[in-house]
């Protein structure tokens, strides 16, 4: 009987739960070696065009980013642990961040290939976006310099719009994990929560201005009221420009916009219902050139799917850093590929053969202190509807 009782006890006893393993040995050295053999060795497995598709940039540019981050950001310097074993390499960390941004995939999608855990991948992404902003932000997300303005004015005049330096518009990024308490102010109508990006893009899809963070219920006008896009002009710190349209001189550069923007001297919209041949030609030309910013948004979302797919983070600060980093990397790629991908032939301007009537005053100081009286006068000048109407009429005649 005792033996039978012991047998029944063993049958009825619940199985002991398996102990959760706290540490998984991923053999990170194998991950680095596989990555090196696939993309970075002399006889690597995948050719350059495959690298360009999967990393969204050419190999020399990616190596430049990795080199700068590994030198200037402590997190990306490869270190040894207490046992003398090397940690993750800078290539593994940067590749993990780029893959998450490029494909918009889950944070554990690179675990099997790069040998990084989910939490480590999220940390790599966080440190990567902070490092790119700190190291490259001042250079690749800057206000136009005098040389930049001169080039933009030259190209704008060659396209039929003297004084035009870009196109402005807004883009919405869906916020999937928006906190419940904030959903009302970030949701428009019966849609989903979004965060707004206001941007200015030029002919080569370079972003010259990016203002990200307003809630999705705001339209382009409300975002413009909060945007710092004209702060330098209001404070008198923007380089002075001069150009002529239809024989008349102007000294405020302008952006091409859609119909929602106000009639300011710095905005030129299309004509909604053109009646004359001149008006129809102007509307067609303006709408075709204004598509620069729409194309820039499309390329940005196609290049970095993380800003096209719904944002999975709940922290708005981290979402803003990801958007800012995506724009910086986009501008770096534009600069790296500008010679082979540009739709505008800049050689005539670089040689000085493309004579234009637009000029930038290079002797003007942009570091002068702000004068309150001048600030009010500059604001009034930017928002002057009379100048807007006159400039638009002159552009119609010019085109």
Q: What are phi and psi of 303, to 5 degrees?
A: -75, -40
Radius of gyration of the chain (CA): 27
How many other C-beta atoms lie within 10 A of the C-beta of residue 119? 10
Q: Is 303 exposed, middle or buried (0-12, 13-18, 19+ CB in 10 A)?
A: middle
Q: Say whether both 266 and 370 belong to one domain.
A: yes
Q: What are phi and psi of 256, to 5 degrees?
A: -85, 135
Boundary-marking domain end, from 140, 160, 185 = 140
Q: Say whether both 99 and 156 belong to one domain.
A: no
Q: Is 328 exposed, middle or buried (0-12, 13-18, 19+ CB in 10 A)?
A: buried
Q: Say whether both 114 and 255 belong to one domain.
A: no
Q: Say whether both 238 and 353 belong to one domain.
A: yes
Write down the pLDDT at residue 61.
95
Distance from C-alpha of 40 to C-alpha of 51, rounded to nearest angstrom: 10
Distance from C-alpha of 191 to C-alpha of 16, rounded to nearest angstrom: 48
Q: Are 291 and 297 in contact (CB under 8 A)?
A: no
Write down the pLDDT at residue 25.
77
The pLDDT tens digits along the chain (399 residues) read 556 555 545 555 556 666 666 777 778 889 899 999 999 999 999 999 999 999 999 999 999 999 999 999 999 998 888 877 888 899 999 999 999 999 998 888 888 888 888 899 999 999 999 999 999 999 999 988 888 999 999 999 999 999 999 999 999 999 999 999 999 999 987 789 999 999 999 999 999 999 999 998 999 999 999 999 988 888 877 888 899 999 899 999 999 999 899 999 999 999 998 889 999 999 999 999 999 999 999 999 999 999 999 998 888 999 999 999 999 999 999 999 986 544 455 554 454 454 567 777 665 555 555 666 677 888 898 899 999 999 999 999 998
Distance from C-alpha of 62 to C-alpha of 136, rounded to nearest angstrom: 13
For the chain, how many structural domains are there in total? Answer: 2
Residue 3 is assigned to a structural domain of this protein = no
Q: Say whether both 229 and 243 belong to one domain.
A: yes
Residue 369 is assigned to a structural domain of this protein = yes
Q: Say whether both 204 and 130 belong to one domain.
A: no
Q: Say whether both 152 and 135 belong to one domain.
A: no
Distance from C-alpha of 63 to C-alpha of 388, rounded to nearest angstrom: 47
Residue 14 is assigned to a structural domain of this protein = no
- CA distances to 44, 115, 121 from 29, in Å: 18, 9, 16
Residue 7 is assigned to a structural domain of this protein = no
* Residue 260, Ramachandran bin (φ over 0: left; ψ between -120 and 50: alpha; else beta): alpha
Q: Say whether both 229 and 371 belong to one domain.
A: yes
Q: Say whether both 113 and 205 belong to one domain.
A: no
Q: Say whether both 131 and 162 belong to one domain.
A: no
Boundary-marking domain end, from 140, 163, 186 = 140
Distance from C-alpha of 308 to C-alpha of 344, rounded to nearest angstrom: 28
Q: Is 80 exposed, middle or buried (0-12, 13-18, 19+ CB in 10 A)?
A: exposed
Q: Say whether both 52 and 71 belong to one domain.
A: yes
Dump pLDDT digits (tens) for 17-43. 666 667 777 788 898 999 999 999 999
Q: Say whether both 266 and 339 belong to one domain.
A: yes
Order of all β-strands in the sheet with 194-201: 207-215, 194-201, 164-174, 254-256, 267-268
Residue 23 is assigned to a structural domain of this protein = no
Q: Are 108 and 121 in contact (CB under 8 A)?
A: yes
Range of the domain at 101: 28-140
């Amino acid at each position: 009987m005792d033996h039978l009782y012991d047998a029944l006890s063993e049958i009825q006893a619940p199985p002991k739960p398996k102990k959760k393993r706290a540490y998984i040995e991923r053999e990170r050295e194998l991950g680095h070696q596989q990555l090196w053999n696939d993309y970075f060795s002399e006889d690597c497995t995948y050719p350059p065009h495959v690298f360009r598709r999967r990393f969204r940039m050419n190999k020399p540019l990616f190596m430049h980013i990795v080199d700068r981050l590994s030198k200037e950001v402590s997190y990306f310097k490869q270190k040894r642990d207490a046992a003398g074993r090397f940690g993750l390499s800078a290539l593994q960390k940067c590749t993990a961040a780029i893959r998450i941004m490029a494909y918009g995939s889950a944070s554990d999608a690179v675990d099997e290939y790069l040998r990084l855990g989910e939490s480590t991948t999220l940390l790599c992404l966080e440190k990567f976006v902070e490092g790119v902003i700190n190291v490259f932000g001042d250079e690749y997300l800057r206000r136009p310099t005098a040389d930049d303005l001169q080039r933009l004015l030259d190209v704008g005049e060659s396209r039929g719009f003297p004084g035009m330096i870009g196109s402005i518009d807004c883009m919405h990024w869906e916020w999937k994990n928006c906190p419940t308490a904030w959903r009302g102010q970030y949701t428009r109508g019966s849609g989903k929560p979004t965060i707004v990006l206001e941007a200015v893009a030029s002919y080569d899809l370079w972003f010259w201005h990016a203002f990200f963070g307003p809630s999705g219920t705001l339209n382009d006008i409300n975002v413009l009221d909060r945007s710092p896009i004209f702060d330098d002009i209001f404070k008198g710190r923007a380089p002075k420009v001069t150009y002529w349209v239809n024989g008349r001189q102007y000294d405020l550069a302008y952006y091409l916009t859609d119909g929602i923007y106000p009639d300011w001297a710095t905005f030129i919209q299309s004509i909604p219902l053109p009646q004359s041949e001149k008006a129809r030609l102007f509307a067609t030309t303006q709408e075709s050139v204004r598509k620069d910013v729409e194309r820039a948004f499309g390329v940005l979302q196609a290049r970095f799917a993380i800003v096209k797919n719904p944002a999975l983070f709940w922290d708005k600060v981290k979402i803003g850093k990801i958007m800012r980093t995506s724009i910086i990397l986009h501008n770096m790629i534009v600069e790296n590929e500008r010679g082979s991908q540009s739709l505008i032939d800049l050689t005539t301007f670089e040689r000085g053969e493309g004579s234009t009537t637009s000029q930038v005053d290079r002797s003007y100081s942009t570091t002068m202190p702000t004068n309150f009286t001048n600030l009010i006068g500059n604001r009034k000048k930017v928002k002057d509807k009379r100048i807007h109407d006159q400039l638009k009429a002159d552009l119609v005649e010019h085109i």
